[in-house]
Amino acid sequence: MIKKVGIIGGGTMGSGIAQVAATAGCSVKLYDTKTEALEKAKADLEKIMDHLVEKGKINSEEKQRIQNNIKYVNSLKELKDSDLTIEAIVENLDIKKNVFSTLEKFVSDDCIIASNTSSLSIASIASSLQKPERCIGIHFFNPAPLMKLVEVIPAVQTSEETLKISVKTITDWGKIVAVAKDTPGFIVNRVARPFYGEALRIYEEGIASFAEIDTAMKEIGGFRMGPFELMDFIGNDVNYTVTETVFEAFYYDPRYKPSFTQKRFAEAGYLGRKSGKGYYNYS
Ligand code: NAD
C-alpha cells in the first residue's frame, strides 16, 4: 500500500500530481529547489480548491483534508519516509540522474522511484540507482488532476513487483493506465510529434496562420485545442525539448524533426501561457 508520496519538482506537473495523490488520501511531500515554486504551487492549489468548492464538487472539509495532506518542503531529505516518489523536474537526463542517485541515499530499500519524464529513457534514468529494479516511468498528462490517462513505463531493469504496485496505485488514484515499453515518447508523445511538427511546418511554409490551423484542427479534427494552443499550454520550452529528444532518440528520423520557429520562441522566452506570450498573447 502506497501511503506516503514524495514529489520532486513543484511546477506544472509536480503540483498537479501532488493534488491527485492528496485527493486520493495519500500524505504528500512536495519538494522544489525554488521557494517561489512551492509558494506558487500552494497558492494555485488554494484557488483550485476554492473553485471546486464553489462548483459543489467538494465540500470545505474535503478541501481542508486535501490541502492538509500536502507538505511543501525545501530539502530532498524530507522525502526519506516515502513509499513512492515521483520526479517532475526539468527534462534533462543528467539532472534527473543526479537527483535520483541522491534521493536513493535517503529513502528505504522498497521505496519506488518514478519519473514523469515525457521522452527520456527510463532505463538510462534507472541506471543512476543502486537498485534500478525500483525505478519506473509514471507519465501523467497536463493538467494531471483532469487528464485520466497515465502511461506506466517499465524499464528493462524494472521488477514485476514495482510495475504491479505502480499500476495498482495509479488505478486506485482514479486514473486509466496504459502500460508502454520504454521507447522514445512512449505512446502519446510519439503520436503527438507529427501533430505539432506538421502544424509548425504548415505555418513555416506560409500556408496558414496559427489561429487558422488551430481552428481547422478543432472544427474538423474534433480536437479540444489546436496544436498551437496546446503547445502554448504545455510550454514551448518543454514541448521543444521533447521533440528534440524524440528526434535524436530515433536516430534523426526526419518524421520527428524539430522546428526553428518553436526553437526561437523558446529561446525568446515566448513559452506560452506560463510566460504570458507564446503563439498567442495571454496578458
Ligand atoms: P516546470 O518547469 O513547470 O516545473 C519544473 C519544476 O522543477 C520547477 O518548479 C523547478 O524549480 C523544479 N526543479 C528543477 N530542478 C530541480 C531539482 N534538481 N530538484 C527539485 N526541483 C527542481 O516543468 P513541468 O512542465 O512540470 O515538467 C516536469 C517534467 O514533467 C518534465 O520531465 C516534463 O517533460 C514532464 N511532463 C511535462 C508535461 C507538460 O505538459 N508540461 C506533461 C507530462 C510530462
Over the stretch 82-129, which tens digit does the pLDDT of each residue have?
Answer: 999 999 999 899 999 999 999 999 999 999 999 999 889 999 999 999
CATH architecture for the domain at 4-179: 3-Layer(aba) Sandwich (3.40)
Q: What is the Å distance from ligand 1's center to 112 Cα?
A: 19
Span 15-22, mean pLDDT?
A: 98
Over the stretch 47-87, which tens digit does the pLDDT of each residue have?
Answer: 999 999 999 999 999 999 999 999 999 999 999 999 999 99
Q: Is the ipTM here above 0.95?
A: yes
- Ligand 1 mutation target, pool 35, 102, 118, 234, most atoms within 8 A of CB: 118
Give the integer Cα–Cα distance in Å for 237 and 170.
Answer: 28
Atom nearest to 237 CA in ligand 1: 2
Over the stretch 231-283, which tens digit does the pLDDT of each residue have?
Answer: 999 999 999 999 999 999 999 999 999 999 999 999 999 999 999 999 999 98
Does the pLDDT of residue 1 top 90, yes or no?
no
Q: What pLDDT is stored for residue 119 in this prediction?
A: 84
Ligand 1, atom 4, lies closest to the CA of: 11
**Which residues are known catalytic residues?**
118, 139, 151, 189
In the chain, the amino acid numbered 176 is I
Give the integer Cα–Cα distance in Å for 72 and 275.
Answer: 24
Over the stretch 173-206, which tens digit does the pLDDT of each residue have?
Answer: 999 999 999 999 999 999 999 999 999 999 999 9
Over the stretch 143-156, which tens digit does the pLDDT of each residue have?
Answer: 999 999 999 999 99
Pocket of ligand 1 (CB under 6 A): 8-14, 31-34, 37, 88-91, 95, 99, 116-118, 140-142, 234-235, 238
Give the integer Cα–Cα distance in Å for 200 and 205.
Answer: 9
Pick the closest to residue 74 from 27, 8, 5, 16 (CA basis).
8
Do 62 and 48 touch, CB atoms closer than 8 A? Answer: no
Q: What is the Å distance from ligand 1's center to 88 Cα?
A: 5
Is residue 73 helix, strand or coil? strand
Give the integer Cα–Cα distance in Å for 120 and 86.
Answer: 15
Give residues with Cβ within 8 angstroms of 31, minimum separation 6: 6, 7, 8, 9, 10, 73, 74, 75, 76, 78, 79
Pick the closest to residue 202 from 218, 214, 220 (CA basis).
214
- Ligand 1 mutation target, pool 91, 231, 238, most atoms within 8 A of CB: 238
Q: Domain 189-275 classified CATH 1.10.260.40? A: no
Q: Where are the domains of the chain?
A: 4-179, 189-275
